[in-house]
Amino acid sequence: DDALYKQFGEKEGLTKIVDDMYDNVLSDPRTAPYFDNAPVKRIKQKLVEQICVLLDGPCVYTGRPMRRTHEGQNIDRAAFNALVEDLQAAMDKNGVPFHAQNKLLAKLAPMYREVQDRE
Ligand code: HEM
């Protein structure tokens, strides 16, 4: 069911959370350099779709595969953890219940395997 999606405020709430997350990511010295020249508007749209799917919301992900999108970017554990912290701050700011936050984080954690790339 879509109870979790509802706890994120559905499409409107999720869009606000992703906007706030990217404000954090772009002002965080640990993550900002990765996004020089990146198409932030597109990334935000695709990320809303993807998180919506993870929350069992009524969405379809239309972006590129995670591994291909992130390969060659030197994303390591520190960068990944920093981005997750920036997401947590955005969820806090928007009043997402702690229990609901943890459910999303548990689904994102295994995605490290697909975005990490030290080559
Ligand atoms: C679970 C964690 C992550 C998820 C779910 C995620 C998701 C996404 C999505 C959906 C896109 C857009 C794909 C498309 O254009 O079709 C994207 C692009 C991108 N992501 Fe991530 N990402 C994650 C972690 C990270 C991390 C840790 C970094 C760096 C600190 C990062 C940097 C980027 C950059 C720079 C792009 C733009 C690539 C390009 O278009 O050239 N991502 N990500």
Joined tokens for residue 30? 């640990």
pLDDT at position 87: 98
Mean local confidence (pLDDT), 30-41: 96
Cα of 37 to ligand 1 centre, how many Å? 13
What are all long-range contacts of 60-68, with beta carbons under 8 Å and residues at least 24 apart? Answer: 66/111, 66/114, 66/115, 67/114, 67/115
Cα of 26 to ligand 1 centre, how many Å? 13
The model's pLDDT over 40-94, given as tens digits with 9 standing for 90+, comes to 999 999 999 999 999 999 999 999 999 999 999 999 999 999 999 999 999 999 9
User: According to the CATH classification, is domain 3-115 in 1.10.490.10?
Assistant: yes
Which residues approach ligand 1 with their CB closer than 6 A? Answer: 31, 34-35, 38-39, 42-43, 46-47, 50, 63-64, 69-70, 73, 75, 79-80, 83, 108, 111, 115
DSSP string, 52-98: HHHTT-S----S--HHHHHTTS---HHHHHHHHHHHHHHHHHTT--H
Q: CA–CA separation, 76 vs 9, rounded Å?
A: 31
pLDDT at position 1: 87
Rounded percentage of the chain residues whose pLDDT exceeds 90? 97
Residue nearest to atom 7 of ligand 1 (CA): 47
Residue nearest to atom 16 of ligand 1 (CA): 63
CA-wise closest residue to 95 among 7, 2, 1, 3:
7
* Ligand 1 atom at minimal distance to the Cα of residue 79: 30
Cα of 4 to ligand 1 centre, how many Å? 23
* Ligand 1 atom at minimal distance to the Cα of residue 34: 35
